Amino acid sequence: MAVWTHRWWHPARAATAGAALALAAGPAALAAPAGVAPPPATAAPAPADGEALYRQNCASCHGDQGQGAQRGPSLIGVGAASVDFQVGTGRMPIPHETQQPRRAEPVFSADEIAALVAHVTSFGGGGPAIPRVGPGRLPTGRELFAANCAPCHGGTGAGAPLTNGWIAPPLYDATPVQVAEAVRVGPGLMPVFPSQVLTDQQVDDLAAYVQRLRSERLDRGGNPLGRLGPLAEGLVAWVVTLGLLVAAARWLGRRAGE
């Protein structure tokens, strides 16, 4: 049985100003489908009960009061950003505490995530708030990414293996807020980058650049909508090259025959 004590302590936790921003459209069982009249007032859904959700889905590993237990680390002082990141990226609730948490479809709706964030932060201890992400500068983002993130996530953000089967995951699905949360929280083996190391503006620059990596990857991989895809595009490039070679040969031939 693993002992969850050593890695969970992040010494520097920078508090960033921010407002609770709910993300991630989960199964959204309570939302009315688009175009359908809202249900009558009597059927109004009850607000998500963070305490009950926590008791049912988290307490067995993290303890009733978030104090930590055999199967999970303490959540006291991890901060709103950590809870929002872990649940919003579908990492938590994790099926087995021995695995690296992986990104997945979130289990909870945005309301439920907000309620879980509120309940876990009520255990106390402060910790980073959910960052508010503003516009970023791409050239600075590119430099910061190369220096601080590419060593683990790769220059294109495609991710890379780290150690013992653990990976630095691809960054293509992370929203700007999730990028900022990861930077401030340092999930798993990722280091924390507090505001003394990366300012809020620099985090915005990074978030903008990570979104750019995502669109560059779509360009590389071929966007299914309106693009031909890598194989077809390779063929087109090849045919164009061939055409140029033939034209060049003709031209050279003509020159020789002059």
210 vs 141: CA distance, rounded Å: 8
At 117, list the tokens: 């964030």
C-alpha to C-alpha distance for 200 and 196, rounded to whole angstroms: 10
Residue 8 vs 251, nearer CB to ligand HEC:
8
Nearest distance, CB of residue 52 and ligand HEC, angstroms: 11
8 near ligand HEC, rule: CB under 6 A: yes
Question: Cα–Cα distances in Å, from 43 out to 33, 38, 40?
Answer: 15, 9, 6
CB of 40 to ligand HEC, least distance (A): 31
Among 14, 80, 83, 177, binds ligand HEC (CB under 6 A): 83
Residues in 164-193 at the binding interface with ligand HEC, rule: CB under 6 A? 168-169, 171, 173-174, 178-179, 182-183, 185, 187-191, 193
Alpha-carbon distance of 153 to 39, in angstroms, equals 45
Question: Rounded to whole angstroms, how far apart are CA atoms 15 and 40?
Answer: 42
Radius of gyration (C-alpha) of the chain in whole angstroms: 24
- Taking CB under 6 A as the binding criterion, the range among 20-28, 36-44, 65-73, 233-241 that sits at the site for ligand HEC is 65-73
The answer to whether 140 touches 198, Cβ cutoff 8 Å, is no
Find all residues with CB under 8 Å of 240, minimum gap 6, and list them. none
* Residue 202 binds ligand HEC (CB under 6 A): no
Task: Point out which span in 28-36, 40-48, 163-171, 222-230 binds ligand HEC (CB under 6 A).
Answer: 163-171
169, two tokens = 């995951």
Which parts of this chain interact with ligand HEC (CB under 6 A)?
4, 8, 57-58, 60-62, 71-73, 75, 78, 82-83, 86-87, 89, 91-94, 97, 100-101, 103, 116, 120, 148-149, 151-153, 162, 168-169, 171, 173-174, 178-179, 182-183, 185, 187-191, 193, 206, 210
